[in-house]
Each structure stands twice: as structure tokens, then as C-alpha cells.
């Protein structure tokens, strides 16, 4: 049940973050930056919950560690994004935004992979290798 809730938090929170990101990129809803950061942290925490549940269920440790590390990278990159873009050329700033988007999509994908492995084990399957 915990894994199912965490999985939906990653899915729905990730979708909300993508929508907000598109709005930011187009110059709209810039006052919602704090909300974007808060939702981002919640989504990373949900990924970490999935990682710990997966570890307890016997999912490959490398996959679990990958999820934990990806969460740290996403938070660090997201929090440092503005300082990275400070004084950057437009091309560099746009590249940083694309990297931020790709990391977020990777986090959502990792959440799906972990949730899928947890479901598979819950249905009587063997822990799958990463």
C-alpha cells in the first residue's frame, strides 16, 4: 500500500512539475517557483520511499542505490539551477533547463521501474535483476 501511494505521488507530482516547468519556460506562473520546489522535494521523497520498499522486497541493490542517488542529484541540480544559470549565455541557460527536465523525467521513470519491480515481487515473481 505504501509503495502504491508513493508511486502515485511520483506520477501525479511529476506531471504537475512538468506542467509548471512548461509554464515557467514560457514565462508564465513564475510566482509558483516555491510550489515547484516543494512538489519536487515531495516527489523525490516518494522515490526514496519506493527505493526503500524495493530494497526490503529484495529488488537489486544497484537499482535501489540508483534511485537514491538520482533523488540526490535531482534535488542538488534543482536547487543549484539558478546559480548555474546566473551570468550564463542563453544557450547554456537553455541547456541547463533541458538537463533539469531530463533529470525529472528520469526520476519519474525510475519510480515506475521500482514500482513495477515491487508489484512483480508482490505477485509472486522473483526479484528481477537491474
pLDDT digits (tens, 9 = 90+) for 38-71: 999 999 999 999 999 999 999 999 999 999 999 9
What predicted TM-score, i.e. pTM, was given to this entire model?
A: 0.89
Position 128 pLDDT exceeds 70: no
| pLDDT-based confidence at residue 82 (cuts at 50, 70, 90) | confident
Residue 96 CB burial class (10 angstroms; 0-12, 13-18, ≥19): middle
Running DSSP on this structure, what letter comes out for residue 28? Answer: -
Amino acid at each position: 500500500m505504501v509503495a502504491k501511494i508513493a508511486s502515485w505521488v511520483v506520477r501525479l507530482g511529476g506531471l504537475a512539475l512538468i506542467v509548471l516547468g512548461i509554464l515557467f519556460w514560457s514565462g508564465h506562473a513564475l510566482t509558483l517557483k516555491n510550489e515547484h520546489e516543494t512538489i519536487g522535494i515531495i516527489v523525490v521523497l516518494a522515490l526514496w520511499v519506493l527505493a526503500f520498499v524495493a530494497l526490503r522486497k529484495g529488488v537489486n541493490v544497484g537499482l535501489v542505490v540508483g534511485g537514491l542517488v538520482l533523488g540526490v542529484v535531482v534535488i542538488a541540480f534543482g536547487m543549484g539551477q539558478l546559480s548555474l544559470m546566473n551570468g550564463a549565455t542563453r544557450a547554456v541557460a537553455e541547456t541547463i533547463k533541458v538537463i533539469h527536465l531530463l533529470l525529472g523525467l528520469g526520476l519519474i521513470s525510475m519510480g515506475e521501474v521500482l514500482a513495477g519491480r515491487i508489484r512483480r515481487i508482490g505477485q509472486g515473481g522473483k526479484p528481477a535483476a537491474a
